[in-house]
Structure 1
């Protein structure tokens, strides 16, 4: 699907306050009004909002995949929820690349992730996610962290709110999606669901 098929409304400077909020947290960030939609943005919103009538600010993950930095990124964006803005983390609870290990690896890791996100108190939840590489089959489920880091962003934004599973797929690859918040209002945060954008905030470690 061509990315310009979703011409979302808004202005190129609409992400400026949020970019400043990110930098105040000590994270590098810049606005990029030229880069197009990421796969996780347009592939989902083309289905959920085909008329492209919802403005969305797209925020990148960091190139170093630092879990602590992504939690902090979520904290920087937390105030958006008070403005009625939905925060969506676009990723996957498991993304195994080796078909031979996909079933066992994704099931074991997904079970660990559900326990960490839903069953543990917030402080323990954050500790587990920071140390996610110790989880069973961690590197089978996530050879690279790019599909997992968006979850840490929404966990940082939700902070002490409980998480719940809102979607589960058990095979052949196990997948789960989560929601943080007590209602379906736009102040919730949603994790591991793929987020139209007129501006993009780069929150990557590498400097321009």
Structure 2
């Protein structure tokens, strides 16, 4: 049996001081531009939409900005977006024409982007900034549900080529101070991401891997949790769940940023034919 800390949704308390620590999240962004579609495809992701819309109610206060670690951005070194008014990247294929003109008009935050870059450079890490990159669908599809009014600034951060789990956990540790500065950190990926596996095979593989993942996140010691994630490829059905691990790596960053905070399972549903789970760390 998993031993996750019990959690209930609550309304943000405006009386909390501005320095209240933000939790961190690993969420799914769903398939393609699903929030902007209707009918059966949109309905597949209805449970995910409910979970994403619940995120603001799990925060101590409205965030100053959101930092999204996107599964859809990889660079030779960790890279931070610093655009004041990010554009859009329609990085999906074969969807209706209107989905290539949707807009998520949230501002960026060059100030917070530079703050993030400074955390890495002060630790001796190579880091880059990008003032041109727009929101990819790993960011805008998720944020459309969390903050549909696009009122909160959004900063994106890349993964690093090589997709080394330990390195991404270490990145998360460097990002921890942001939680006390009003920045909400979200890893945007999916706990199962094999677009070639369908039907019963996808269902079985996702169930097996998800059971391991929930157990790993429920480990009582932070070091145990980090070690399990570092060795994730040895988990049951690991390479069936993630032939390439870019959609799992945002969880490594979030686990690092979580520090010693316990994991809360906040979503575990079948999206189409595969089980997907999401986690919050911190209260």
**Structure 2 equivalent of residue 122 of structure 1:** 222
Deviation at 1:23, TM superposition (A): 2.7
- Paired position in structure 2 for 1:149: 249
2:162 counterpart of 1:68: no
Of 87, 107, 113, the residue aligned with 2:185 is 87
User: Which of 189, 194, 198 pairs up with 1:99?
Assistant: 198
Structure 2: state its 5+ residue gaps.
1-98
**What do you get for the CA RMSD once the two structures are aligned?**
1.8
Trace 1:32-71 onto structure 2 (pairs within 5 A). 32-71=130-169
Q: Secondary structure of the residue that 1:90 maps to in structure 2?
A: strand
Q: Is the 8 A contact 1:25 1:72 kept in 2?
A: no
Aligned residue for 2:261? 161
Matched pairs, number: 182
Q: Which is worse superposed, 134-143 or 96-105? A: 96-105
- Residues 206 and 276, structure 2, Cα contact 8 Å, conserved in 1: yes
Residue 159 of structure 1 deviates from its aligned partner by: 1.6
C-alpha separation between the residues in 1 aligned to 2:100 and 2:114? Answer: 26
Provide TM-score, normalisation by structure 2: 0.61
Is contact 1:168-1:175 (8 Å) kept? yes
Shift of 1:126: 0.6
Aligned residue in 1 for 2:57? none
CA distance in 1: counterparts of 2:169 and 2:101, whole angstroms: 29
**Cα separation, 2, equivalents of 1:34 and 1:159:** 32
When Rg is computed on C-alpha atoms for both structures, the one with the higher figure is: 2
Greater relative CO, 1 or 2 (CA 8 Å, sep 6+): 1
Q: Sort the Cα spacing of 1:168 and 1:41 in 2 relative to 1 into closer, same or farther, 3 A.
A: same
For 1:123-168, what per-residue CA distance to the aligned partner results, in whole angstroms no more than 9, with x for missing partners?
1111110000000010000011110000010100012111010011
Whether 2:233 is the aligned partner of 1:133: answer: yes
Q: What is the Cα deviation at residue 170 of structure 1?
A: 4.0
Distance 1:69 1:27 in 2: 11
Deviations 1:43-73 (A, max 9, x none): 1112322221101111111121000110011
Q: Secondary structure at the match of 1:177?
A: strand
Q: Equivalents in 2 of 1:11, 1:84: separation in Å?
A: 13
CA–CA separation in structure 2 for the residues paired with 1:108 and 1:14? 39
The gaps in structure 1 that reach 5 residues or longer are 183-208
Contact 1:96 1:106 in 2 (8 A): no
In 2, distance between residues paired with 1:3 and 1:51? 17
Secondary structure at the aligned position of 2:134 is classed as coil
User: What's the offset of the Cα at 1:13?
Assistant: 4.4
